[in-house]
Structure 1
């Protein structure tokens, strides 16, 4: 084979490999038949390891839309974290007791998140010890399932306006994690006391908190009122935190509340 042709083939393979690796905020990072998107902090040097916030979108959401949320990206970047936007199947998460996934164990989603983290850590300088999972609405439900049933690869969790479908698992899986749950006190979409949807229902937020309080050996709560939130703060003997914070309003997401969750996990030494 002529030398020039061999050179051309080698160059093509090198360029193809570079293109395949060039995923980010505007291009999907493929994971089997799914994908994720990622944005490193603004001005990142490309080599220094950073923590990451893995975001689970709400019902019918997309990773693309998450990356187009300038306020969210800016806030996560200012916190010195990479933003990893996970993508559900057809905008939904395969969770136990869900309306279309009642018999699910969540295993498919847990495997997907494992693959996302493994892939992101290979492609980008992600510090695997400083990865937080957060999400809003249905994404908050995904986060609670990760926290209780698949916590090992995360440093902490910030579920927002979402909880388990129907009821929490009978028991949670270790290690015990830090959780900051944030919710509107008049949420009509995911009410604090749950609501029926089809043949199932959204669970009660208080049931999730009670289950994790028992599991983690958390002390009685202490009240606080930081920046528009009314919180009940718990801590266990190992310094893990379990916080339940309400804001006045309905089913809405505000970056300052997520910022508070990140701040609390950081103060507790989780990230």
Structure 2
């Protein structure tokens, strides 16, 4: 009987440690989920996706179209998980005095853990997210540009206003937003003791900080886009689609492809 129990324990250990699409990968008192592409040449880059308000990593992984699109580009999908479905964002309605430090440390921990458990190329990471997740991405772009190859915030920006300064050197950003978004309007709106910031201010501040040149129109399917570049060949691109507060896998694909075309992936 003891031998049988020992064999069972040995076999069960890898199962207990396993994590992925359907089970959490624990990092401290938090977690994430991951989906690796089949047949891709290792190591692989990854899209680190931040869900919207009250979202979950498990819910992200149920989006098969999202997983397929990311995998078709030879990338892993890492779905991060906010505490109780929210992100601790500076100047937010419930976190006005936050510096965002706890979230930045969490993303650091996720990247370190995923690169140990899986064959992840940490030089080819894209941070992206929708709504509150897009807000998280803007804060990451400002605070930790060197941790990622590029950023694709979608329908989210800073609370209240951009930070006074960002870490250097700057990164490449493709911001995507609906032109009729009433949940996160382009010009922001008051929520409790604070307000959502203006997308134009986030873009203008980053363009000035990063030395980006004049905006030029670029061709994009079903979107109106304009892009700026700087001396380091970083890109700062702003795309509008017709519609409200919604997420499109095709729009994210465009953002990832723009980063790849710019040589960031």
TM-score bucket (shorter structure): over 0.9
TM-score (norm 2): 0.96
Is residue 140 of structure 1 aligned with residue 134 of structure 2? yes
What are the within-5 Å matches in structure 2 for residues 1-271 of structure 1?
5=2, 8-9=5-6, 11-41=7-37, 43-44=38-39, 48-271=42-265
SS state of the match for residue 98, structure 1?
Answer: coil
1:111 and 1:69 map into 2 onto residues whose CA distance is: 27
Instruction: Report Cα offsets for 1:221-265 as digits up to 9, x if no partner.
Output: 101231011111001111100000000111011111000001000
- Size of the aligned set, in residue pairs, is 265
2:12 and 2:168 map into 1 onto residues whose CA distance is: 42
Q: Unaligned stretches of 5+ in structure 2?
A: none
1:5 and 1:175 map into 2 onto residues whose CA distance is: 59
User: What's the CA shift for 1:5?
Assistant: 4.4
Alignment CA distance shift 1:192-1:168 (3 Å): same
Instruction: Report Cα offsets for 1:63-104 as digits up to 9, x if no partner.
Output: 000000111111111111100000000100000001100000
SS state of the match for residue 152, structure 1?
Answer: helix
User: What's the CA shift for 1:219?
Assistant: 0.7
1:266 and 1:190 map into 2 onto residues whose CA distance is: 28
SS state of the match for residue 33, structure 2?
Answer: strand
Please report the RMSD computed on the Cα atoms of aligned residues, expressed in angstroms. 1.5
Q: Unaligned stretches of 5+ in structure 1?
A: none
2:56 and 2:240 map into 1 onto residues whose CA distance is: 26
Residue 21 of structure 1 contacts residue 123 of structure 1 at CA under 8 Å; is this kept in 2?
no
2:136 and 2:22 map into 1 onto residues whose CA distance is: 24
TM-score (norm 1): 0.94
1:172 and 1:163 map into 2 onto residues whose CA distance is: 15
Residue 169 of structure 2 contacts residue 210 of structure 2 at CA under 8 Å; is this kept in 1?
no
User: What's the CA shift for 1:21?
Assistant: 2.8
User: What's the CA shift for 1:176?
Assistant: 1.2
2:110 and 2:8 map into 1 onto residues whose CA distance is: 27
Of residues 188-197 and 219-228 in structure 1, the stretch that sits farther from structure 2 once superposed is 219-228
